[in-house]
């Protein structure tokens, strides 16, 4: 066989195998036997071995895996991967519907979808070929898991047909069915390995396996729920989902159009009753506007779209005995009481502990040791005690006396006026606080030294090598090599962490790479109380460097957008402590970024400072709307969704809502076009 003949044969086999995959996994209608399919695949494998230069990265043979990914690189999302607002209340859904009515003055309809309990993924196709698969991550960037995703047979490696956008992103959920989950856990138990708690954890863990051939064995599945890109086939979400079924995706048969909120309630009621019959886990229903133009008009908040919401099913409730209460110390010194329970099965997992939040919660529920308590999983994830079975309370039950000293360092606890939590004020010597601050510093959204995770901080701390965040940068190969510690898991099984050559080198590489983390994330990472990601960014871009923040007064801090009394007081108090100033000095000496990158500053201006904008109507593309909003923020303007007396300008596209137009005229607010807006910032 010549090379050209081999190329033609490979193309024929690829097309044929892809069609049979589609018949089996998408249409559930196989037309050949498994043996015949395996023979076709074997023939293709043999040809690819003989002619490796003809192997396509999206060949059907890639479905069985084999690629090794030593490190999952971070990739920035082209479109932010936001999370949905959620509720457990039908009243909230009615409020959601009423908010839409106020803005969308034409007819609209909803699309209801099952909320799959799995892992969100974004699949990018360029010219019909799978180019990348990226996890949600922090919403701005996620992990590239393309090699592993290629093994999922319900994800087409090449789209079927010829007519589709040049570049398109298909978002959806990677799940593990109950059948695959049970099989996986049976195998792990046989191998004396730890079983997974639930299918979602199994799916998530599978995507981060380095060997893609192991991922292929997990039988993961995929359901798409949204399409992004320019020149989409239709202006309606439901019709686009239907279209991509023709391209090779297995779309859900359970998705329905709902003409109004009452039809939505009927859909929720149906699936709340029937969800136990599904072959996979769901934890609620997603409700979206069908029209993409109406979605665009409603826009987004900082965290979620305004045109969609998820209704979460109420959590399963069980009862069990409260054996005792222990107390945990967080990185800020906050004390959290934890209920130690008689083990009980709840929503597929064995629950032994539950949070009691604070002293007020214990008093409010009138919880006593040896009570029979009701336990739920908040959001189907975190166990919490929601009540007491008073009919089963004995005469010998003892009221809880909340501790008055730190369980770790014995320091008397304090409770600030107006706050629910008790605190240990001994932040410099209380070990859980020190470890907590270090773990926060290395976390992904902070300095992202992930090679120091999974208990390694505790091992290094227990060996006296680190006592604050600056000590991390004094670690060396000689100090770390050979360290080890045995940990006992909740189920009584042990695991050991050993600092071998590869582990130590990865830690040191991670520490060195963190020196490139931008100032706003460094500011967040140092752990000033009440200074979260958003506040840190506001502070960084306002003051430009750490020295100006350290020297700023309480009144100067209040001038920064979103900085209130509590945050300003906390910042001032933090930099009054010489210990914190010394740590900043040491971090500076190690090369940590404590000023805004000059390249970022050149893209920022103060031209729109003090001005508030509403962006309304349809523009040349959804991308243009996002560009306008980014330009407003880059030039220090503020964006709101509703028109008020504080609105400076409305940037109007086509089909601006008449209600907004009327309100703008009544208030005398300037309505400008996209071109007018550009002139403001030139």
Show the low-confidence residues of the chain (pLDDT under 70): 25-26, 28, 64-70, 189-195, 197, 347-348, 378-382, 454, 489-493, 598-604, 620-623
Is residue 373 within 8 A of residue 319, CB to CB? The reply is yes
Residue 369, H or E segment: strand 368-369
Is residue 404 within 8 A of residue 373, CB to CB? The reply is no
| Cα distance between residue 646 and residue 519, in whole Å | 32
| Cα distance between residue 286 and residue 187, in whole Å | 34
Predicted local distance difference test score (pLDDT) of residue 620 = 65
Secondary structure (3-state) at 238:
helix
Condensed to tens digits (0 to 9), the pLDDT of residues 326-373 reads 999 988 899 999 999 999 988 667 889 988 888 999 999 999 999 999
User: What does the angle CA 285 – CA 119 – CA 494 come to, to the nearest 5 degrees?
Assistant: 125
Residue 256, H or E segment: strand 256-258
Cβ contacts of 190 within 8 Å, gap of 6 or more: none
Predicted local distance difference test score (pLDDT) of residue 380 = 46
* Nearest CA among 334, 312, 330 for reference residue 268: 312
The separation between CA 303 and the C-alpha centre of its own chain, rounded to angstroms, equals 11
User: Number of C-alpha atoms within 13 angstroms, CB side, residue 398?
Assistant: 7
**CA dist 632 → 62, 79, 606, 638 (Å):** 45, 18, 10, 7
Q: Domains in the chain, start-ordered, CATH in brackets?
A: 3-64 (1.10.287.610), 75-79+108-262+275-298 (3.30.470.30), 317-399 (2.40.50.140), 431-516 (1.10.150.20), 519-602 (1.10.150.20), 612-681 (3.40.50.10190)
Residues serving a catalytic function are 115
Predicted local distance difference test score (pLDDT) of residue 623 = 66
Is residue 442 within 8 A of residue 431, CB to CB? The reply is no
The separation between CA 172 and the C-alpha centre of its own chain, rounded to angstroms, equals 14
Condensed to tens digits (0 to 9), the pLDDT of residues 208-247 reads 888 888 888 889 999 999 999 988 999 999 999 999 999 9
Cβ contacts of 86 within 8 Å, gap of 6 or more: 284, 309, 310, 311, 312, 379
| Cα distance between residue 366 and residue 270, in whole Å | 37
Is residue 40 within 8 A of residue 16, CB to CB? The reply is yes
Is residue 462 within 8 A of residue 499, CB to CB? The reply is no
* Nearest CA among 121, 111, 245 for reference residue 172: 121
Rg, C-alpha atoms of the chain: 28
Kindly list the strands in the beta sheet with 86-87, ordered across the sheet, starting from the edge strand earlier in the chain: 86-87, 308-312, 282-289, 110-116, 256-258
| Cα distance between residue 26 and residue 63, in whole Å | 15
Task: Say if strands 349-355 and 368-369 run parallel, antiparallel, or are unpaired.
Answer: unpaired
Phi, psi of 234 (to 5 degrees): -135, 165
* Nearest CA among 24, 278, 34, 63 for reference residue 149: 63
Condensed to tens digits (0 to 9), the pLDDT of residues 245-292 reads 999 998 899 999 999 999 999 999 999 888 878 999 898 999 999 999
DSSP class of residue 405?
B
């Amino acid at each position: 066989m010549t090379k050209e003949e081999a190329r033609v044969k490979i193309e024929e086999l690829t097309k044929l195998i892809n069609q049979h995959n589609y018949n089996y996994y998408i249409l559930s209608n196989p037309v050949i036997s498994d043996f015949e399919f395996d023979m076709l695949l074997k023939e293709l494998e043999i040809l690819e071995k003989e002619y490796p230069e003809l192997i396509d990265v999206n060949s059907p043979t890639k479905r069985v895996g084999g690629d090794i990914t030593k490190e999952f690189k971070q990739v920035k999302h082209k479109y932010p991967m936001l999370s949905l607002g959620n509720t457990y209340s039908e009243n909230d859904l009615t409020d959601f519907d009423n908010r839409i009515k106020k803005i969308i003055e034409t007819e609209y309809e909803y699309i209801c979808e099952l909320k799959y309990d799995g892992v969100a993924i974004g699949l990018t196709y360029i010219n019909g070929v799978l180019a990348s698969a990226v996890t949600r991550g922090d919403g701005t960037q996620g992990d590239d898991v393309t090699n592993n995703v290629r093994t999922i047979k319900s994800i087409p490696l090449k789209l079927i047909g010829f007519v589709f956008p040049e570049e398109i992103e298909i978002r959806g959920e990677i799940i593990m069915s109950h059948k695959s989950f049970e099989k996986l856990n049976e195998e792990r138990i046989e191998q004396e390995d730890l079983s997974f708690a639930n299918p979602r954890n199994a799916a998530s863990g599978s995507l981060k396996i380095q060997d893609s051939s192991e991922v292929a064995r997990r039988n993961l599945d995929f359901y798409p729920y949204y399409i992004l890109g320019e020149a989409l086939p239709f202006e309606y979400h439901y019709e686009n989902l239907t279209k991509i079924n023709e391209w090779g995706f297995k779309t859900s048969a359970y998705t329905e159009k709902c003409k109004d909120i009452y039809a939505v309630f009927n859909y929720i009621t149906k699936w709340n009753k029937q969800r136990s019959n599904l072959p996979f886990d769901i934890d609620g229903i997603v409700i979206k506007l069908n029209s993409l133009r109406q979605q665009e008009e409603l826009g987004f908040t900082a965290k979620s779209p305004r045109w969609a919401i998820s209704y979460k099913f109420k959590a399963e409730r069980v009862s069990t005995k409260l054996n005792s209460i222990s107390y945990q110390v967080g990185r800020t010194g906050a004390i959290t009481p934890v209920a130690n329970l008689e083990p009980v099965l709840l929503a597929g997992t064995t629950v032994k502990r539950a949070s009691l939040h604070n002293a007020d919660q214990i008093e409010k529920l009138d919880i006593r040791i040896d009570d029979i308590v009701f336990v739920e999983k908040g959001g189907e994830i975190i166990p919490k005690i929601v009540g007491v079975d008073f009919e089963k309370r004995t005469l010998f039950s003892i009221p809880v006396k909340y501790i008055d000293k730190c369980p770790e360092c014995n320091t008397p606890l304090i409770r600030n006026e107006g706050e629910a939590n008790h605190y240990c004020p001994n932040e410099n010597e209380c070990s859980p606080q020190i470890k907590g601050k270090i773990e926060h510093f290395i976390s992904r959204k902070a300095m992202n030294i992930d090679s120091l995770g999974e208990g390694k901080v505790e091992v290094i701390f227990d060996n006296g090598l680190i006592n604050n965040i600056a000590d991390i940068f004094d670690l060396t190969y000689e100090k770390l090599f050979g360290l080890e510690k045995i940990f006992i898991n909740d189920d009584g099984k042990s695991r050991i962490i050993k600092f071998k050559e590869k582990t130590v080198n990865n830690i040191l590489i991670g520490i060195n790479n963190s020196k490139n983390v931008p100032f706003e994330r460094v500011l967040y990472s140092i752990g000033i109380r009440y200074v979260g990601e958003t506040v840190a960014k506001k502070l960084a871009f306002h003051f430009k460097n750490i020295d100006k923040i350290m020297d700023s007064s309480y009144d100067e801090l209040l001038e920064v957008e979103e900085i209130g009394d509590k945050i300003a007081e906390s910042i001032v108090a933090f930099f009054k402590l010489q210990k914190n100033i010394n740590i900043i000095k040491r971090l500076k000496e190690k090369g940590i970024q404590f000023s805004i990158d000059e390249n970022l500053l050149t893209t920022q201006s103060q031209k729109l400072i003090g001005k508030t904008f509403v962006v309304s109507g349809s523009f040349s593309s959804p991308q243009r709307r996002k560009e306008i909003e980014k330009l407003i923020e880059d030039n220090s303007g503020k964006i709101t969704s509703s028109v008020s007396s504080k609105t400076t300008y409305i940037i109007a596209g086509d089909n601006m809502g008449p209600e907004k137009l009327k309100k703008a005229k009544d208030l005398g607010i300037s309505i400008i076009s996209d071109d007018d807006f550009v002139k403001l910032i030139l």
